[in-house]
C-alpha cells in the first residue's frame, strides 16, 4: 500500500498530519483578499541584457501569491520581482515571484497574471499579516456582512464590539507573539501567552454566542472569525487539518493519530497552536478514551471463558487501541477475532499496515462500509457480520442524530451473543463545551449528557439488557455499556 508521506519510519508510530485529497474542493493554504493596490513588476534577464518595468494593479492577494492586471505582457523566461505600492515599507521592496498562470487578454493593454511569492523574509511576512488580517477595512467588511443579518440593534452592537475590539486586539497580540517566535524560537513563555490569548478570545466568543441565539447568524460569525484568525491558527498543520477536513469528515484517522502521538509537528506560531490543540481538554480526553478502551478490551478477553472471542470495532479509524493492546496482550490460548469496520479505505489500509505481523491466535478482518447503511439493510448486514461477543464504537455516536443512533443501538445490540456487550462512547455536554474545535475548526458534536444517552438506549427498542455508564479519567467522555442478559 502507499503510506502517507508524513509517516514516520517507526511502524509503531503514526503519520503526522498531511494535506490529503478532499472529496470537496481543497481549501487554499491562505484565503484570498480583494485589494486594489498599485504594483510594479520588474523582470530581468542578465544573460540577454533584457530589463522591463511594468505597472499594474492587484486584483486579489494572499500570503502565497497575487493576481495582477498589468499594462504589458510578461516574459516568463525572466526573473520576476513584485513591488506593492503600500504604506508598509517591506512590501515596497522587490519581492521575487514566479509566474504561475496567464489569462487570455480580454481588454486592450491589460494582461491578467497569477504570481506566486518566493523567499519572503520575516519582515515581509509580518507586513502581509498586517495588510491582510489586521486591515481595519477588511475587519469592518466582516462586521457589516454579519450585522446586515441582525435585526436587533443591541445584538448588532455586541457583534461589532467583538470583532472591532476583542478580535482585533487578539490578532494584534498574535502578531506580536509571531514576531517573538521568529526572533527566539518556541519558548514556554510564548506558549503560555498564546494559551492565555486563546482562552480570552474564546470566553468572549462564548459570551457572544449566548447573546446571539440565531444558529444562522452564529454560523456566519464563526465562519468570519475563522477567516480572520486563519493566517495565524492555520500555520498549525493539526488545526488546519481539523478545519479543512480533507477526507470529507471531521476527526479523520490522521488527525486522531496526531492527537494520540501528542507532539507538535508545525513550525513558528503553528507550533504553539499545535501545543494548544493537543493540550485542549478534548484532546486529553481522546487519549484517555483510547487508554480506557484498551483496559476494557484486555479485561474482556482475559475474563472470557470461551476459546474464541469475536470483537467488532465500528468506525475503527486507525485502530490505535487494538494496536497498542496487542503490544502487551499475553493471552495465547484463545483465538481472538477482530472485525474492524470503517467507511474510509485509507484508514483501513493504514490500520492494516500499522499492525505489523500478528500472533498466530489473533485474526483481524478489515471491512469497508458505511455503518449507517445497516439502517436501510439490517437483514443483509446481520447475516454478513454474524454474532459478536463485544461490539464497540469510540468516536461515532457524537455525530449521529437521535433517530439514527437509536436504530444503530437496536441493530448492533441484536448481534450480540449470550452475555455479549455493546459499548458506545460519547462526550458529556455537562462536562465539556467544545469551544476550541467549534470556533477554530468548525468541528461540532451533537450535545448530549448522561441522562440523554440513557433515555436514547431505553427508546431504542431493545430489551433484556443491563446498562452501566462510566467515564474516562478526565470525566469528559462517557462509556455507555449494554450487556445482554
Return d(Cα 225, Cα 209) in angstroms, integer. Answer: 12
Asked whether 312 and 390 are in contact (CB, 8 A), the reply is: yes
Question: Cβ(410)–Cβ(462) under 8 Å?
Answer: yes
Burial category of 216 from C-beta neighbours within 10 Å (exposed 0-12, middle 13-18, buried 19 and up): exposed
- What's the grid cell of residue 162? 467583538
Task: Single out the residue of 314, 313, 331, 330 nearest to residue 322, CA to CA.
Answer: 313
E strand intervals along 302-351: 308-314, 335-342
Contact 100, 136 (CB under 8 A): no
Instruction: Please name which of 416, 395, 409 lies closest in space to residue 311, comparing C-alpha atoms.
Output: 416
**From CA 336, how far away is CA 298, in angstroms rounded?**
11
Q: Is 48 helix (H, G, I), strand (E, B) or coil?
A: coil
Handedness of CA 415, 420, 425, 428 (dihedral sign): positive
Report the distance separating Cα 298 and Cα 390, nearest Å.
12
What pLDDT score does 91 carry? 82
Q: Can you list the domains of the chain with their CATH numbers?
A: 33-121 (2.40.10.220), 129-280 (no CATH), 283-484 (3.40.50.150)
DSSP 8-state class, residue 459 = T
| Spacing of C-alpha 29 from chain mean position | 14
**Residue 331 three-state SS:** coil
Q: What is the pLDDT of residue 8?
A: 42
Is the dihedral angle over the CA atoms 112, 116, 121, 125 positive or is it negative?
Answer: positive
The answer to whether 242 touches 274, Cβ cutoff 8 Å, is no
User: What's the rounded Cα separation, in Å, for the pair 470 and 222?
Assistant: 33
Separation of alpha carbons 479 and 285, rounded Å? 12
Bridge partners for 309 per DSSP: 336
| Cα–Cα distance list, 48 to 51, 72, 107 (Å) | 9, 19, 30
Cα separation values, 201 from 64, 82, 172, 435, Å:
27, 36, 12, 10
Quote the CA–CA distance of 289 and 472 in Å, as a whole number. 6
The CA–CA distances, whole Å, from 193 to 91, 130, 212, 273, 441 equal 29, 20, 29, 11, 21
* The predicted structure's pLDDT at residue 134: 86
Cα 342 from Cα 347, distance rounded (Å): 7
Do the beta carbons of residue 145 and residue 224 sit within 8 Å?
Answer: yes
Cα(159)–Cα(208) distance, integer angstroms:
7
Q: What is the rounded CA–CA span in Å between residue 36 and residue 296?
A: 61
Determine the angle formed by the axes of helices 253-261 and 345-355, rounding to 10 degrees: 40
The whole-angstrom separation of Cα 346 and Cα 428 is 30
Q: Which three cell numbers stand for residue 118?
A: 518566493
Q: Are 412 and 457 in contact (CB under 8 A)?
A: no
Can you tell me the distance from the alpha carbon of 314 to that of 82, in angstroms, rounded to the nearest whole number?
Answer: 53
pLDDT at 131: 83
| Separation of alpha carbons 100 and 118, rounded Å | 12
Cα separation values, 25 from 20, 21, 227, 245, 247, Å: 11, 9, 17, 11, 11
Mean pLDDT in runs of 10 for the chain (485 residues)?
43 40 44 83 70 88 89 81 81 88 73 90 84 85 93 94 96 94 92 97 96 94 94 95 93 96 95 97 96 96 93 96 89 90 95 90 93 86 93 95 95 94 97 94 95 97 95 94 93
| Other beta carbons within 10 Å of 341 | 22
Cell of 462: 431493545
Amino acid at each position: 500500500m502507499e503510506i502517507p508521506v508524513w509517516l514516520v519510519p517507526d511502524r509503531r508510530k503514526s503519520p503526522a498530519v498531511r494535506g490529503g485529497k478532499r472529496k470537496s474542493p481543497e481549501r487554499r493554504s491562505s484565503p484570498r483578499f480583494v485589494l486594489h493596490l498599485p504594483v510594479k513588476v520588474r523582470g530581468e534577464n542578465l544573460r540577454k541584457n533584457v530589463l522591463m518595468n511594468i505597472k499594474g494593479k492587484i486584483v486579489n492577494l494572499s500570503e502565497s501569491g497575487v493576481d495582477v492586471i498589468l499594462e504589458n505582457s510578461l516574459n516568463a523566461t525572466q526573473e520576476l520581482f513584485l513591488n506593492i505600492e503600500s504604506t508598509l515599507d517591506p512590501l515596497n521592496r522587490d519581492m521575487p515571484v514566479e509566474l504561475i498562470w496567464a489569462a487570455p487578454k480580454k481588454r486592450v493593454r491589460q494582461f491578467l497574471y497569477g504570481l506566486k511569492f518566493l523567499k519572503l523574509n520575516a519582515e515581509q511576512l509580518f507586513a502581509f499579516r498586517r495588510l491582510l488580517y489586521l486591515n481595519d477595512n477588511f475587519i469592518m467588511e466582516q462586521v457589516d456582512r454579519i450585522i446586515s443579518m441582525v435585526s436587533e440593534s443591541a445584538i448588532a452592537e455586541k457583534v461589532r464590539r467583538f470583532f472591532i475590539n476583542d478580535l482585533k486586539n487578539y490578532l494584534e497580540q498574535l502578531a506580536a507573539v509571531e514576531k517573538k517566535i521568529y526572533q527566539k524560537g518556541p519558548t514556554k513563555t510564548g506558549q503560555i501567552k498564546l494559551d492565555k490569548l486563546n482562552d480570552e478570545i474564546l470566553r468572549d466568543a462564548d459570551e457572544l454566542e449566548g447573546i446571539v441565539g440565531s444558529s444562522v447568524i452564529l454560523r456566519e460569525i464563526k465562519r468570519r472569525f475563522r477567516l480572520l484568525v486563519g493566517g495565524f491558527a492555520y500555520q498549525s498543520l493539526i488545526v488546519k487539518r481539523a478545519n479543512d477536513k480533507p477526507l470529507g469528515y471531521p476527526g479523520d484517522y490522521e488527525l486522531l493519530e496526531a492527537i494520540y502521538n501528542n507532539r507538535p509537528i508545525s513550525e513558528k506560531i503553528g507550533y504553539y497552536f499545535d501545543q494548544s490543540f493537543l493540550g485542549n481538554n478534548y484532546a486529553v480526553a481522546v487519549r484517555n478514551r483510547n487508554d480506557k478502551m484498551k483496559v476494557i478490551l484486555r479485561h474482556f478477553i482475559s475474563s472470557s471463558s470461551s476459546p474464541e472471542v469475536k470483537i467488532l470495532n465500528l468506525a475503527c479509524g486507525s485502530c490505535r487501541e487494538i494496536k497498542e493492546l496487542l503490544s502487551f496482550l499475553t493471552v495465547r490460548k484463545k483465538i481472538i477475532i477482530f472485525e474492524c469496520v470503517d467507511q474510509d479505505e485509507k484508514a483501513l489500509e493504514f490500520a492494516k499496515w500499522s499492525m505489523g505481523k500478528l500472533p498466530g491466535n489473533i485474526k483481524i478482518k478489515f471491512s469497508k462500509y458505511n455503518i449507517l447503511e445497516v439502517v436501510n439493510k439490517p437483514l443483509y448486514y446481520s447475516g454478513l457480520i454474524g454474532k459478536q461477543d463485544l461490539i464497540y464504537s469510540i468516536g461515532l455516536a457524537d455525530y449521529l442524530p437521535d433517530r439514527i443512533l437509536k436504530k444503530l443501538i437496536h441493530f448492533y445490540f441484536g448481534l450480540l451473543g449470550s452475555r455479549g456487550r455493546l459499548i458506545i462512547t460519547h462526550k458529556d455536554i455537562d462536562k465539556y463545551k467544545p469551544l476550541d474545535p467549534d470556533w477554530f475548526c468548525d468541528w461540532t458534536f451533537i450535545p448530549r449528557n448522561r441522562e440523554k444517552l440513557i433515555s436514547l438506549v431505553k427508546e431504542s427498542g431493545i430489551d433484556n439488557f443491563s446498562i452501566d455508564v462510566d467515564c474516562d479519567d478526565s470525566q469528559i467522555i462517557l462509556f455507555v455499556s449494554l450487556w445482554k442478559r
